[in-house]
Amino acid sequence: MTTLPETSPQTFPETTHGHIDLSAREFWTKPPAERDAAFEVLRRENPVAWSRPADSDLLPPEQNLRGFWSLTKHEDIRFASRHPEIFSSAQGITMEDFPREILMMSQSFIAMDAPRHTQLRGITLDAFKPRNMRRLQSWIQGHARDLVSEMSHLGEGDFVELVSVKLPGRIFGSFFGLPPGEIHEKTISAAQRTLGWTDPEVRGDLTAIELFAGAVMDLHETVTTLLPERRANPGDDLLSWMVQAEFDGEKMTDDELKAFFTLLAVAANDTTRHASAQAIYAFSQFPAQRDLLVADIGGRIDAAVEEVLRWGSPLLHMRRTATQDVTIRDKEIKAGDKVVLWYISANRDEDVFEDPMTFDITRKSNPHLAFGGGGPHFCLGAALARTMLRSLLTEVYTRIPDITATEPNFQVANFINGINSLPATWTPEGTRV
């Protein structure tokens, strides 16, 4: 683990820049268009901006003392992502700090640096063999087809409830070989609420840390229950593959398997769930783009998926911590400072994307950072996320091509680009003239 110096107490500006305050809870209640406009100002006027400590309930106030730098330009985020020797992941990956013990239980190797990050990622890659990935792709296609069959005759409903929540949950259940019944339901519920600590609708009466820690403990309980069986009788599922996988003669410990399961549960459920809802909403906002896709699904689906990922950026940010003093543009970042990489801003960068505020599936070049800016922490699940979106959007726009969503109920979040509900209507399958 990389040990970093603590950032010394300092005088913080009242806001990030002018009226823009990325640290404020209120900022993350604003509609996406308003947040996009704020990041446009930052890219133009203050692309490496300093913020006071984020409003957060994850730590006691006397411990929540660390402000952060924001990188808002595509180029700067790629630089930070590709220099892990300067920008460490080991101190946490979110703008809000978690208690150290919770960090280690929940974020696995994405909150580690080399050499352990390299070892655990290598073990994971061993489990993600081509043969195993082909099996996952067939599961994804089958679940997407079944879900659209279950809802296509209705004509209206909440797309999140009918599809977005269910598809990743079913895939994850197959993925890890979760037995049907209580274990499956409890595990999927935990995975789907883990990142909702900033949203009052998700959190309910719980504090932020109670919600997060409770969900993590439920996921660990699942692994504790399933591990003995998977070691004794390994099957065709990811937990069995992970138990057997090794790199340089090493396997994961039980605690590392629990943390990895938690990481993947969240990645497989929350991020892909929200990406599918963002896709339907985007095509509803830009019906001419939907018509282009419907006219040639086979020829345009891959480009459509990439534009959905750019436009809907499932993760709003990742965070790093400087291991040494470094200057980006004219800002002097000190060792120990938190540095937040705003993917949602990079994916609207005018220096990289022509007309970035327009959803356009015909883009000739789309170097979005939905899965990170490259380097050793580039998302391992990128191919699977693309497969899920490709399979689902192909089924939806082949069978109910006129599906149209109204305004979503967006999740209040500074990490995940979430949608809690998405009312939609469509012509029931089989009744179209």
Instruction: Write out pLDDT tens, residues 190-201.
Output: 888 888 888 899
Longest dimension (CA), the chain: 68
pLDDT of residue 338: 97
C-beta separation of 56 from 292 below 8 A: no
Give the Cα separation of 424 and 92 in Å (integer): 37
Task: Answer yes or no: is 18 within a domain.
Answer: no
| Burial (CB count <10 Å: 0-12, 13-18, 19+), residue 73 | buried
Could you tell me the two tokens for 149?
């069959």
**E strand or H helix at 169, and its extent?**
helix 166-176
Task: Answer yes or no: is 413 within a domain.
Answer: no
Task: Answer yes or no: is 290 within a domain.
Answer: yes
Give the Cα separation of 329 and 191 in Å (integer): 39
Q: Name the residue among 410, 387, 403 with its Cα closest to residue 278.
A: 410
Q: What is the mean pLDDT of the chain?
A: 89
pLDDT of residue 250: 82
Give the Cα separation of 93 and 339 in Å (integer): 10
DSSP for 195-243 reads T-TT-HHHHTTS-HHHHHHHHHHHHHHHHHHHHHHHHHS--SSHHHHHH
Task: Answer yes or no: is 302 within a domain.
Answer: yes
Quick check: 55 pLDDT over 90? yes
3-state helix, strand, coil in the chain (%, to 5): 50, 10, 40
Quick check: 9 pLDDT over 60? no
Q: Convert 33-70 to b/e letters by CB count within 10 Å (16 or more is b).
A: eebbebbbbbbeebbbbbbbbbbbbbbeeeeebbbbbb
Instruction: Write out pLDDT tens, residues 264-287.
Output: 777 777 778 899 999 999 999 999
Quick check: 347 pLDDT over 70? yes
Could you tell me the two tokens for 83?
């220099």
**Which residue reads 């018509």 in tokens?**
291
pLDDT of residue 107: 67
Quick check: 218 pLDDT over 90? yes
Q: Which of 42-46, 162-166, 179-183, 428-432 has the lowest mean pLDDT?
A: 428-432
pLDDT of residue 6: 45
Q: Name the residue among 318, 11, 264, 325 with its Cα closest to residue 127.
A: 264
pLDDT of residue 109: 61
pLDDT of residue 138: 81
Domain region containing 177: 27-405
Instruction: Write out pLDDT tens, residues 367-424.
Output: 999 999 998 888 877 888 898 999 999 999 999 999 999 999 999 999 999 999 999 9
What CATH number did the domain enclosing 289 receive?
1.10.630.10
Task: Answer yes or no: is 238 within a domain.
Answer: yes
Task: Answer yes or no: is 35 within a domain.
Answer: yes
Could you tell me the two tokens for 429?
């399958």
Assign 8 a pLDDT band (cuts: 50, 70, 90): very low
Assign 306 a pLDDT band (cuts: 50, 70, 90): very high
Assign 12 a pLDDT band (cuts: 50, 70, 90): confident
pLDDT of residue 266: 76
Task: Answer yes or no: is 428 within a domain.
Answer: no
Quick check: 3 pLDDT over 50? no
Quick check: 59 pLDDT over 70? yes
Domain total in the chain:
1
Could you tell me the two tokens for 431?
């009744």
Task: Answer yes or no: is 181 within a domain.
Answer: yes
pLDDT of residue 5: 42
Tell whether omega for the bond before 115 is within 30 degrees of 0, i.e. cis: yes
pLDDT of residue 10: 57
Instruction: List CB contacts of 340: < 8 A, sequence separation 6 or more.
Output: 22, 68, 69, 70, 71, 95, 317, 318, 319
Q: Which of 13-27, 121-135, 166-180, 367-381 has the lowest mean pLDDT?
A: 121-135
pLDDT of residue 4: 45
Assign 176 a pLDDT band (cuts: 50, 70, 90): confident
Give the Cα separation of 230 and 236 in Å (integer): 10
pLDDT of residue 380: 75
Instruction: Write out pLDDT tens, residues 371-387.
Output: 999 988 888 778 888 98
pLDDT of residue 157: 98
